[in-house]
Amino acid sequence: MKFLAIIPARYASTRFPAKPLVLLDGKPIIQHVYERVAECVEMTYVATDDERIFNTVKAFGGNVVMTSSEHRCGTDRCCEALEKIGYDADIVINIQGDEPFTHKEHIELLKKGFESEATDIVTLAVPFSEEGGLEALENPNSPKVVIDPSGHALYFSRSVIPYIRGVERSEWLKHHTFYKHLGMYAFRTNVLKEITSLPQTPLEKLESLEQLRWLESGYKIGMGITNIETVGIDTPEDLVRAERFIKENK
């Protein structure tokens, strides 16, 4: 199979403007992401709507393509980028531009998921730990996923799923492995084109999770399970945490 990795990166961010260009350990965040992905996928591009990001990627020698500023999400931006790049890929891998700790294992799991012909889309999950506690499990900003015996997603939610009847909530993590969804995706090329033309669905609107549109529309989402957590950067406070993470792991 031929893989194309696309890293959507926009300049405007409500919580952290200019995020892709902010320095982390001396390099722009977008450069960290690009270099990690390009190690695993030969054909890698950044897709942006901003000339400052475009020029930064060009300056460090990366591939980059300009896309519309009107896109609702990174998935839509990836679809436009695919058309503009013109590469005959079988699979498009989508890694967000604020994931500087993307690991080789993450990329390999996304690729491996397509060994099953029944799979249309692949994404990742990491088990919640008992050490993280109930507060982490109940955080609505960490979507949860339940998985069927064949390794496909049954449902994603900002609520804790499944509910364990007859057990004190404080004991849930001792009785079941709950999974946190990591927002990295890979799509069969034809599927990417199809899902970006679909209207929003009721469950997607309720939970504000685009992957529910795909489930509601009948697509099979394969789940790769990893124990390697990421440190996504959504706020200036996350940047401080990321700097600390780098220092502790050097």
Question: Which residue in this structure is represented by tokens 């294992």?
Answer: 105
Q: How far apart are CA 76 and CA 21, in angstroms?
A: 22
| pLDDT > 90? residue 232 | no
Mean pLDDT of 96-114: 95
The rounded Cα 187 to chain-centroid distance in angstroms is 12
pLDDT, tens digit, 9 for 90 and up, residues 13-62: 777 889 999 999 999 999 999 999 999 999 999 999 999 999 999 999 99
Closest CA to 195 of 110, 92, 107, 98: 92
Closest CA to 82 of 31, 44, 121: 44
CB contact at 8 A, 83 and 65: no
Residues 6+ apart with CB under 8 A from 249: none
pLDDT at 250: 67
**Please, which residues bridge with residue 153 across strands?**
147
Q: What value does the mean pLDDT of the chain take?
A: 94
Domain 1-99 and domain 103-182+189-229, same fold? Reply is yes
**Domain definitions of the chain by residue range:** 1-99, 103-182+189-229
Q: Which helix (H) or strand (E) holds 44?
A: strand 44-48
Q: Which helix (H) or strand (E) holds 74?
A: helix 74-85
pLDDT, tens digit, 9 for 90 and up, residues 183-217: 999 999 999 999 999 999 999 999 999 999 999 99
Question: Which residue in this structure is represented by tokens 């993450």?
Answer: 106
pLDDT, tens digit, 9 for 90 and up, residues 157-191: 999 999 999 999 999 999 999 999 999 999 999 99
CB contact at 8 A, 121 and 214: yes
- Specify the DSSP class assigned to residue 236: H
- Assign 88 a pLDDT band (cuts: 50, 70, 90): very high
| Beta strands in 128-212, from DSSP E residues, in sequence order | 144-147, 153-157, 179-188
| pLDDT > 70? residue 150 | yes
Domain 1-99 fold is: Spore Coat Polysaccharide Biosynthesis Protein SpsA; Chain A (3.90.550)
Domain 103-182+189-229 fold is: Spore Coat Polysaccharide Biosynthesis Protein SpsA; Chain A (3.90.550)
